[in-house]
Each structure stands twice: as C-alpha cells, then as structure tokens.
Amino acid sequence: MGHPMEPFMREAMALAEKGRWHAAPNPTVGAVLVHQGAVVARGWHTACGQPHAEVECLRDAARNNVDPAECTLVVTLEPCNHHGKTPPCTQAILEAGIRNVVVGFCDPNPKAAGGADFLRGHGVHVETGILEQECRDQITDFLTWVATPLPYTILKLASTLDGKIATRSGNSRWISGPESRARVHELRRRVGAVIVGGTTFRKDDPQLTCRLDETDGALQQPLAVVITSQLPNVPESFKLLRERPEQTVFWTTDDAAQSRAAEVLRERGCTVMALPSTADTTHGARDIAHGLAWLRSHHGCLYTLCEGGGKLALTMLELGLAQEFQLHMAPKIMADSKAPGLFDGRNPATMEEVLGLRMTATEKSGDDVIITLRRREELCSQD
C-alpha cells in the first residue's frame, strides 16, 4: 500500500503543472491543505516573481474561511527558507499555525534549501519523500538550470508501431496525427530554440516554426538550430534561409565555419559557429553541450526542443543532453526493414550494454500515444 498522503500529493502535482513554462526559471510547485481527508485549499506557483505555491494555498484558505492551523500542508517541493523575490514560505507556514507538513522532494538549491529542518526546529512535524521520484521528475528543468549552464532540452520523435520514422524514400508526412502535431507546435511556442540535424534539414526542408493561431499578441518564433558539417551552398533552396535567416543558427566544424558557404550564410543574416572539438569521437567530435550553453547564455533559452533525426537524437540521449524524450507513437505499421528506424549507430553485444530509459508518463493524443521517457538515474535520498 502507498502512503496515505499520496493522493493529495498527486493533486498538488497536478496543480503544479498549471505553472509550467510560466514559473521558469523557478520550479513548478503545487500545494494543498488537507483537513479530515479532504482538500480544502489549493495553490500553485503561477509565475516567476509571484507568490509561491504555499502562499497561494494559504490565500485560497482565507477565501474559503479555512483555518490552516487545523490542516496538513502537502507540497511538491520543500518550502523555501530564504528571502528572494518573495519572503520565505517557511515563515508564512509558521505564521499560519500549520503543525504538519508533507513534502515531495527536498530543494536541491542551496539558496533555498533547509526549509524542512527550519520548520522542524520550530516544532512542525515534517515528512519528506512522498512520491519523491515523481516530484523530482516534475522539476527536472529547474534541476538542470541549477546544476548546469544548459537549457532543459526536450527530444521529440514520431514513429510507427514498428519504430520507423519515415519510408525508405524519406517520406514522413505524416506519421503522427493532427492532435500530436498541434502539441509539437505548442512546444515550439514555448521553447527558445528548435534543433535538428543536417540530414533532417536537407531532406525535410523544415520551417521549425510554431503555426498556432495567436490571440494574445505577436508570436515569438524559436531560433532554428541546424547541426551539420555540410553547410548549404544554395541558400535559396531552403525555407529557413528564404523566410527567416536571421533566426537560423548553424553549428558546424571549424573548417566549414571558415568556408565560403559560411560567409554566404552570414551575409544572409544567419549565425554560423564552430562547435569545439571533443575527444569523444563516438559523437561526431563536436561539443553539442557548448552550443546548448551558448543558447542559454547568449539568447536566454531556458528550454530547447530537439526534433532529430535519429543519429542526433541518439547522441543527445547518450550524452544526457536531452532531459526528456517524448515519443509520439502512431498506430501504423510500415513493415519495411529498409525504412529508417528511430535510432541507429550502436552495436551492443548484451542487453546490459543497451541504453536504458525509464517511462514516466503515457498520454493518448488522438489516435497516437505519447510516451514520456527519461534516462535512468539514481535518486539520492534527500531525507
């Protein structure tokens, strides 16, 4: 049997998702107050600079004439214990008279951590680690920003049931259904850059834009990033270079970055930069992490979306540069051994050598299924 507070933690997690994208660079956090087995107040971190989930929950309690001192606070992330853009949530909890707090995941940010111990030191009973892995997964973006200079990268691929991403002739329109494609455009609306490999750029001639109707003002399109050692010699052949060269970035080799093709691309407004070489020749001898860090430091990209192809996708997973993998699987069977598959480039001798992922969510999208996966990692005990 699970912990009795798990259902309430799951509701807090659902509330936290309401703040997805808007809370960045803060974590998405949800909180509920529980009294006699029922949720009586709710709150979530709505946006960066706005009150945290615990404070919003206390405000909801006041609107509902609920006495927090009679309730248990259930929150997905350890209450903060520092003065930032908002006062510490630990102080608000004490002032509300709350004596029992249940925490999902303890805050890894040294600036904000210590809330659980602070509350315990003031007589509050605090229990941590309820749905710990799930709560940790929910703030993997925040963990990435705190621990690395990188943006949070979502890898998205679409495949048939037998793992094919295109016909043998290269046709991939459309594997997934309209609902799944709309979801991809929503992702493009949220991220700062969309990344593809050179083969995808040359074969698909993608626009890499969000094509959703906007009702609240002009749409800020993401940067288009192409990773390739073969720069195009005829820019007019590609939609990106005809329609939005100023928003197009090429990551390439040292030689290609100094070529005449690079000069032509720069004259059109593109950015062409050489990625530093790396000793790990397994991954094309290019330091993709350097480029990702550049997107964050120079363009403020907190989120990026990688749309393949298969070789780039495998590299991103192997190097741990894609923190989230969304596989859009369509109920179609190609049954062609020569059609390209999701991934290629490994030759494991045993199952112990395969790249392991763990599934964290599944969701129906029209006729498709969207499977969310992450790399296997050890969850350090925070208690």
Name which of 325, 230, 234 is nearest 284 in CA terms: 230
Instruction: Name residue 225's beta-bridge partners.
Output: 195, 249
Residue 346 annotated as binding? no
Residue 72 annotated as binding? no
Q: What share of the chain is helix, strand, coil (3-state, %, to 5)?
A: 35, 20, 45
Residue 174 annotated as binding? yes
296: which residues sit within 8 A by CB, 6+ positions away? 149, 150, 151, 302
Say how far apart CA 219 and CA 189 lie, in whole Å.
8
Residue 53 annotated as binding? no
Q: Which of 6, 11, 54, 324 is the catalytic position? A: 54
Residue 99 annotated as binding? no
Contact call for residues 371 and 377 (beta carbons, < 8 A): no
Residue 44 annotated as binding? no
Residue 158 annotated as binding? yes
Residue 140 annotated as binding? no
Residue type, 195: I
- The token duo for 274 is 């050489």
Residue 381 annotated as binding? no
Residue 237 annotated as binding? no
How deeply is 169 buried, as exposed, middle or buried, from its count of CB atoms within 10 A (0-12, 13-18, 19+)? exposed
Q: Which residues of 76-106 are buried (b: 16+ CB within 10 A; e: fewer)?
A: bbbbbbbeeebebbbbbbbebebbebbbbbb
Instruction: Name residue 361's beta-bridge partners.
Output: 372
Cα angle 340-193-293, degrees, rounded to a multiple of 5: 100
Strand locations in the chain (E) = 30-35, 38-44, 72-77, 100-105, 125-127, 152-159, 193-197, 223-227, 248-252, 271-274, 303-306, 324-329, 357-365, 368-375
Can you say how many angstroms the Cα of residue 166 is from the centroid of all Cα atoms in its chain?
25
Residue 3 annotated as binding? no
Residue 275 annotated as binding? no
Residue type, 135: C
> Is 54 a residue of the active site?
yes
Contact call for residues 379 and 140 (beta carbons, < 8 A): no
Say how far apart CA 82 and CA 67 lie, in whole Å.
25
369: which residues sit within 8 A by CB, 6+ positions away? 328, 329, 362, 363
Binding residue positions: 52, 80, 89, 158, 172, 174, 188, 200, 204, 208, 211, 229, 267
Active site residues: 54
- Pick out the residues of the known binding site for NADP(+): 158, 174, 200, 204, 229
Q: Which residues are annotated as a binding site for substrate?
A: 172, 188, 208, 211, 267
Binding residues for Zn(2+): 52, 80, 89
